[in-house]
Each structure stands twice: as C-alpha cells, then as structure tokens.
Structure 1
Amino acid sequence: MSCASDSTGLYNCRDFPSLFALPGYIQASRALMIAAIVFGTFGLAATLTGMKCSKIGGENYILKGRIAAIGGVFFLLQGLSTMIAISWYAANITQEFFDQFYPGTKYEIGEGLYIGWSSATLAICGGSCLLCACKFKTTDDKIPYRYQQSSRGHALSTVQTSQTVPSNYGRNAYV
C-alpha cells in the first residue's frame, strides 16, 4: 500500500502499482518480447557478418554461409517468440472483453497487435528465405564476384613480349 497523510492527519492509502502485480500473461509476453529483441539483434549481426559482400571472415564462403544460416535461425526464433507473445496477449484481451463478469478494465485489440503480427510474419519469412538461400558449397564451387578479375593474383605486365596475339581491335578501340 502507498499511504499519505494530509494536514488534518488523515491517512489515504491506495494499492502500490508494481510491475510484479501485473497478471502472469503480461509478464510472460514482456519476457518473450525482450527475447525477440535479443534474437533479432543476434540475427542481424550474424546476417551482416555472413553476407558475401562483407569483408569479415575473408573469402571463406562456407563459413559465411553457415553464419548467415545461423542468422536465419535467429530471425525464425525472433518471429516465433513475437508471434507467441502477441497472440497470447490478444487471446487474453479478447477473453476478458467478452466476459460479462470481468470486474477490471476491458481493453480492445489495437494497432500495436497488428504491427506485431506483421513484424512476426516478416521475421519468419525473412529467416526462412535466409536459411534456404544459404548453400553449403565446397571450396571448389567458389565463384568470384563479377567485379573481380578471374585471374586473381596475377599482375598485368606492361612489358611487350615478342609474341603478339592478333586482335580485331586497334589501339583506339578501347574507351
């Protein structure tokens, strides 16, 4: 109880609002949403690390594919925990709303729940696409990027060799 007295000496007491005084499903929904935020953060970090265009991890595409797949798993976990939390909260809100004998405040389903369902669906779809797109290739299947030369490691020489290769293009043909 939270009590206060006025100048006449009368005490007014009311229930002390606490986070632990909330119903269990609200506390569980909050815990699931915090877990979803953590999963999403780890998924984002793993996905950015596992992208082929990132410099982290070098050119080991097998390792990068596995890291990106782990990011997809984290996004799936994020979507599932968000979907469970949002749906559980909405089910309880709906049950309390239609209960004629419920003495507390009756809430309605709002925009936040629809945004939560949309974000959970997008996270599940994105995680599944990321997980399916990661191919576990061998090192023989490594494909260089298009902007890289196929003869990596070989320096072009400016010294003219005695053998000339016939070409259909003259000096002025290159732009």
Structure 2
Amino acid sequence: MSCASDSTGIYNCRDFPSLFALPGYIQASRALMIAAIVFGTFGLVATLVGMKCSKIGGENYVLKGRITAIGGVLFLLQGICTMIAISWYAANITQEFFDQFYPGTKYEIGEGLYIGWSSGTLAICGGACLLCACKVNNPNEKTQYPYQPSSRGHVLSAGAVTQSAPSNYGRNAYV
C-alpha cells in the first residue's frame, strides 16, 4: 500500500494492484539486491572453502588460492550490485522529492539507504582485500621452509670444523 497523510493527520491509502505495478527502477533495484545476496552467499562459501585452515580441498594451496580469489571477485560483484541498486533508488527518490509537479507520494532518504551504502562499501573493500591477499603461487614454485634442526639435537655449524685430541675417557666416564 501507498499511504500519505495531510496536515490534519488524515491518512489516505491506496493499494498497489500488483507487485509488478511498481515503478521500473524499484523492480530493477530489487533484482540487483537479489543478485547481490546470491553473489554474497557464493562468495562466503568460496572464501570459507579457500581458507588455508579448512580441510576442504586438501593441502592444495594453489587451488585454495584460486578459490579464495573467486570469493573475492564475488564479494566485489556483491558490493557493486548493492551500490548500483541503492544509489539508483536514492537518486530517484531525491529527484521525485524536489520535483514540484510530481503527483505521487514523496519519500525521503532513510536509514536503510545508509546501511546499504555502508554494506556495499564493506563488501567492495573485503573483496579487494581478498584479491590482494591471496597470492596464487605457480605449481612449479617451491615454498621455502625455515631451517629445522634434526631430531637428535645436533646442529650443524657453518664454521670451520676443528678436531679435538683423542681422550682416554669413554662416553660413560662422566659423573
């Protein structure tokens, strides 16, 4: 329903005959927001699968990096769809509000638009961070591991090896 009140406090309401009778920009904004929800859901699943700490996908970090990059692209698409839908709706609301000859109900920008703008910005920033953070290594590239000493506790030194004089004591001679 579309309701409006006058200065005396009387409400005048009229029914929309159908959901498809809404203006075209509202239907397009609705479709873009549904697409944003779908992109965000698949982006979240792809990001969770692509994390190094998840067991899904095994130890193939090249594949996990690519899946994480796909999640970042999906988050970017979510943010772009959200920003287009919210900004288009806000532009039409503002245009109708300042039009003196507009015969319909005049709406104002509300809190939902600000929440939409902030969520779109966060989705774009999150997708960009995911794309920048997931370094896709070449499969032929070897990963450098830090030096691990052997299990016996002997550490090899890079210095010159000196030989000591043989002693008359065996291994068990010490107290």
- Give the TM-score, by structure 1 length: 0.73
Match of residue 116 from structure 1 = 116
Match of residue 72 from structure 1 = 72
1:98-117 alignment runs, 5 A limit: 98-117=98-117
Match of residue 54 from structure 1 = 54
Contact 1:51 1:68 in 2 (8 A): yes
Q: Equivalents in 1 of 2:71, 2:102: separation in Å?
A: 43
| 1:64, distance to aligned residue in structure 2 (A) | 0.1
| 1:17, distance to aligned residue in structure 2 (A) | 2.4
Q: Equivalents in 2 of 1:60, 1:143: separation in Å?
A: 16
Q: Equivalents in 2 of 1:16, 1:134: separation in Å?
A: 48
Contact 1:94 1:108 in 2 (8 A): yes
Q: Equivalents in 2 of 1:125, 1:46: separation in Å?
A: 17
Q: In the alignment, residue 84 of structure 2 is paired with which amino acid?
A: I
1:20 aligns with 2:20: yes
Does the C-alpha gap of structure 1 residues 143 and 76 become closer, same or farther in structure 2, counting only changes over 3 Å? farther
Please list every run of at least 4 consecutive aligned residues from structure 1 whose deviation after the TM superposition is greater than 4 angstroms: 164-167
Contact 1:26 1:89 in 2 (8 A): yes
Does the C-alpha gap of structure 1 residues 87 and 143 become closer, same or farther in structure 2, counting only changes over 3 Å? farther
Contact 1:61 1:142 in 2 (8 A): no
| 1:138, distance to aligned residue in structure 2 (A) | 3.1
Contact 2:62 2:137 in 1 (8 A): yes
Q: Equivalents in 1 of 2:82, 2:130: separation in Å?
A: 18
**Aligned partner of residue 64 in structure 1, secondary structure:** helix
Q: In the alignment, residue 102 of structure 1 is paired with which amino acid?
A: Y
1:45 aligns with 2:45: yes
Does the C-alpha gap of structure 1 residues 135 and 108 become closer, same or farther in structure 2, counting only changes over 3 Å? same
The percent of aligned pairs where both chains have the same amino acid is 81
Match of residue 170 from structure 2 = none
Unmatched runs of 5 consecutive residues or more in structure 2 = 1-13, 156-175
The alignment of Structure 1 onto Structure 2 pairs a total of residues equal to 141
1:17-62 CA distances to partner (integer Å, 9 max, x unpaired)? 2101000000000000000000000000000000000001111000
Q: Which has the larger radius of gyration?
A: 2
Contact 2:16 2:22 in 1 (8 A): no
Match of residue 127 from structure 1 = 127
Does the C-alpha gap of structure 1 residues 165 and 74 become closer, same or farther in structure 2, counting only changes over 3 Å? closer
- Give the TM-score, by structure 2 length: 0.73
Superposition RMSD in Å: 2.6
